[in-house]
Amino acid sequence: MRQKIVAGNWKMNNDLAQTEDLLGQLKNQWQENEGVRVIVAPAFTNLHHAFESLRKTSIDVAAQNMNENSEGAFTGEVSARMLTSIGVKTVIIGHSERRAIFRETDEVLAKKVNAALENDMEVIFCCGEELNERMAERHFEVVKSQLGKGIFQVSEAHWKKVVIAYEPVWAIGTGETASPEQAQEMHAFIRKTIAEKFGETLADDVSILYGGSVKPGNAQEIFAKEDVDGGLIGGASLKAEDFLAIVNAF
């Protein structure tokens, strides 16, 4: 279902005490913003605590990653079932840091997507081009390929559990943001690509988030664009005040 969503990706930040502190601030300052769904994605070690702490609020909790296998000898990994067993029902898959630093391929990401959906989880699937690819005007081709290989195996029935996050890699953590026009152009392209494969009704129903240096000062003009349904926020999600200002930018 197409929704307005603001999701905070806390990455490898915040120990338990810091997590408690940030969650406390969010709960204190959070005023239900009608129509906007809020998600936070703390590190694995803090997911259980976050879920319990936010249980009585409408803020959802997501994992930043998961393994594609259901169980077994995969030292250091976490499965979909482990996440759902602590109440976590949303997972970010294919973040550019996972693709670049941990060498996650489109093929592995497709397996992760399938494993999450089979476990009835919601997937926030990230895609986005690197700077050299945009400079070479290959950004549409790159994003189309990431979608085709990573998420287009999903059945029509499962698409209601898929959110797309367009995150141009050159805008992540750099202070450099895609212009609202660049974001809209790519979001419209993503929706058209989904429509070509699965039909317009389904494509119109998919939430497409923008990620890449979204701040309180630029969120409003990005979120105002027709095909931008919200944001995946990194750095600015670590400060309750900034994160909630971004939520309220809707």
Q: How far is the CB of 63 from ligand PEP (least distance, A)?
A: 14
Q: If binding is defined by CB under 6 A, does position 211 make contact with ligand PEP?
A: yes
Q: How far is the CB of 10 from ligand PEP (least distance, A)?
A: 10
Nearest to 8 by CA among 246, 250, 248, 249: 246
Nearest to 104 by CA among 49, 67, 70, 138: 67
The structure tokens 């212009």 sit at 179
Q: If binding is defined by CB under 6 A, does position 128 make contact with ligand PEP?
A: no
* Sequence-separated (6 or more) residues with CB below 8 Å from residue 136: none
Interacting positions 6-65 with ligand PEP (CB under 6 A): 9
Q: How far apart are CA 11 and CA 172, in angstroms?
A: 12
Beta carbons of 43 and 62 less than 8 angstroms apart:
no
Q: How many residues bind ligand PEP (CB under 6 A)?
A: 13
Interacting positions 142-181 with ligand PEP (CB under 6 A): 167, 172-173
Q: How far is the CB of 227 from ligand PEP (least distance, A)?
A: 18
* Sequence-separated (6 or more) residues with CB below 8 Å from residue 35: 4, 250
Q: Which of 129, 139, 167, 187 is catalytic?
A: 167
Q: If binding is defined by CB under 6 A, does position 234 make contact with ligand PEP?
A: yes
95 in active site: yes
CA 38 to chain centre: 11
How many beta carbons lie within 10 A of that of residue 234, not counting itself? 22
Q: How far apart are CA 214 and CA 227, in angstroms?
A: 16
Q: Which of 95, 97, 104, 133 is catalytic?
A: 95
Which of these ranges, 32-40, 46-54, 149-157, 211-219, lies near ligand PEP under the rule CB under 6 A?
Answer: 211-219
Q: How far apart are CA 165 and CA 26, in angstroms?
A: 23
Residue number with CB closer to ligand PEP (123 or 172)? 172
Residue number with CB closer to ligand PEP (212 or 230)? 212
What backbone torsions phi and psi does residue 190 show, to the nearest 5 degrees? -60, -45
158 in active site: no
Which of these ranges, 145-153, 156-164, 212-220, 239-247, lies near ligand PEP under the rule CB under 6 A?
Answer: 212-220
Which of these ranges, 58-66, 76-84, 185-193, 208-216, lies near ligand PEP under the rule CB under 6 A?
Answer: 208-216
Q: If binding is defined by CB under 6 A, does position 235 make contact with ligand PEP?
A: yes
Residue 128 has which token pair? 């986005």
Known catalytic residues are 95, 167
- What is the contact surface with ligand PEP in residues (CB under 6 A)? 9, 167, 172-173, 211-214, 232-236
